[in-house]
Amino acid sequence: MIKPGKKKKDLSSRITRRALVLGGMQAAVILGLSWRMRDLQITQSNQFRLLAEENRIRDRLIRPERGLIYDRNGLALAQNQPNYRIVMIREQAGNAQQVLAELARLIYLPLEKRTGIYNEMRKRAPFVPVSVAEQLSWEDFSRVAANAPGLPGIITEVGLNRSYPMGENYSHVIGYVGPVSEADLERYDDPDPVLQIPDFQIGKTGIERRKEDILRGVAGTKRVEINAVGRVMRELGRNEGLKGADLQLTLDHDLQNYAQYRLKGESAAAVVMDVNSGDVHALASTPGFDPNEFTFGISRTYWNGLIESEYRPLADKTISGAYPPGSTVKMVTALAALEEGLIDPEEEIFCRGYIELGNRRFHCWKRGGHGNMNMTNGLKQSCDVYYYEISQRIGIDKMALMARRFGFGAKPPLPLPSISGGLTPNKQWKFDRYQEPWRIGDTLNAAIGQGFVLASPMQLAVMTARLASGRAVQPRLVRRINGVPEPLELAPSMQIKNENLDLMRLGMFQVSNETRGTAYRSRIEEPTMIMAGKTGTAQVKGITMADREAGLDETETPWKYRDHALFVGYAPYDNPRFAISVVIEHGGSGSAAAAPVARDIMLRALYGTQPPIEAYPRALWKDMREQQANEPPPNPGAPLAQSDRA
């Protein structure tokens, strides 16, 4: 039997041991927690303080202001237009539907749109701003701003949107901007973070695309404090970014505006460039499109109209169009023969309207033939047979080499997308492409700008500028960047004998200024501004023997099968300033369709304004008075940038 005292003593001993164990465990936990708290609060305090700050403070990008684009005289071609907009924050509005109804009393906001806005707000967090109206007029915007205290949750904002005040006149050259797509991001190895900003716009075509990196500018940053759910509580500071570079182009708006007007109604292109500097003064492609439609959201109807038109309004025909140049390349063919010493300029070749090669006839454009032709007469009257004969002496490889010296077969160095290099074929090219040998008939076709030969209107203008100046001038489109002139060096010599170049210039003078010249009716009468030129007519569809015998009238041929009309020229003849090329798709004869247009545009370039009637042939005075009376104003309402005037 255990004594009560002993039992009580043993129990007390066990309790004491348990208390010591529990106390030790508690002490260990407390020590561990204390050590951990010390570690967190002292040893790792800087790290956790940084993490806390990162959770509370955010750096957000500020959109940079896009650089502006001007013509050579400081006229704005692409500018940033204020975008007066209204946004709404649902949590601040209370009864959002009622606020929208009140807003509709101030601006046009139909019930259907209000319902869509409300549904959009319900999809987003209550503190996220939702766009209510964009592109408001100043009157509507100021009316809402004045009544904002009575419209809870309504916020008025002013942003910047790209605007093109000249509309279609520069749609291909300037291009347009649009939202960043996946394809845009793939163009960059390391995309600029600003491209990730919602609704940020990037250059899609034209100068806007090719000069995107300098037009975009550098984004700024602002530091904001947010709460646990991501709501912005306050702005702590900001670092403004850098505005994009302003570009001044070599284009002259008055001339560009007139060229677009003169080509109106045609699927056509015209290029005017300075023969010495290479400055491009006009780069007109018709029809065009309104780039503002793309910036602010294009309608399906407008888009379908663009892509379904057989006139291809989205294509920049001046640089991406590749056409058989026709007789406009005959100067290059002749120079290849002269430089090789293969023909005497006074040697006469008889034209009876065709030559025979095997069992095939190669026809001249004049069915009855031209009779005896020397080099200048062959150029003046554009005798095909003359060039058929001399091309057989030259051979295609030497012809191709000369063509490349004049800019054919290479892309002009311009900051524009989709530039065509054209096609300057030779024997090796045909074998590589078709696994077929080159034939003499191919050489005859190439000699008159047909067959495989292709060139853009820009390449034709470059060729003409080089003929006029004797130098390997290159086209230039950007004149200044942020007011700093782009380097301009004297182009190197073409290394072609002056007497041979002078012979070609004489032939081109006769084309435009002597009675049998193919462009005589489109001459310039002012003696100090006489133009030298060359017409061209390029077949699109082969002419069969049956067509020739039937005397087929081209006006009865479907439009898409009619010949292209071409003209190249320069002026003044004795002191060249400008070179021009005009291509009218399916326009028919170069002398009837392209030459008059080129003459009118050239006169505008030479005078810098509407030329006097006396500069035209007297027979055209009445028609030209009517045409001048219907011309559009030269500068339709665009603001001038005084600091960038030339």
Catalytic residues: 327
Give the ranges where 287-420 is alpha helix by DSSP (H): 291-295, 300-308, 330-339, 375-380, 384-394, 396-405
Find, among 572, 606, 525, the residue nearest to 255 by Cα: 606
Q: Which residues contact 1 (CB under 8 A, 6 or more apart)?
A: none
Question: Counting runs of H as helices and runs of E as strands, what totals does the chain give?
Answer: 24, 21
Amino acid at 380: K
CB 511 within 8 A of CB 517: yes
Cis peptide before 413 (omega within 30 of 0): no
User: In this structure, what token pair is assigned to residue 302?
Assistant: 């407008």
Residues in the chain: 646
Q: Cβ–Cβ contacts within 10 Å for residue 539, how many?
A: 17
Q: Which residues contact 327 (CB under 8 A, 6 or more apart)?
A: 382, 384, 448, 449, 534, 535, 536, 537, 566, 590
Residue with the two structure tokens 């601006």: 107
CB 333 within 8 A of CB 354: no
Distance, in Å, from the CA atom of 243 to the CA atom of 336, rounded to the nearest integer, reads: 51
Q: What is the DSSP letter of 284?
A: E
User: In this structure, what token pair is assigned to residue 56?
Assistant: 């509370």
Distance, in Å, from the CA atom of 295 to the CA atom of 222, rounded to the nearest integer, reads: 27
| Burial class of 8 by CB neighbour count within 10 A (0 to 12, 13 to 18, 19+) | exposed
Ramachandran assignment for 588, one of left (phi > 0), alpha (psi -120 to 50 degrees), beta (any other):
left
Paired residues of 283 in beta bridges: 271
CB 300 within 8 A of CB 619: no
User: In this structure, what token pair is assigned to residue 163?
Assistant: 């605007």
3 state SS of 351? strand
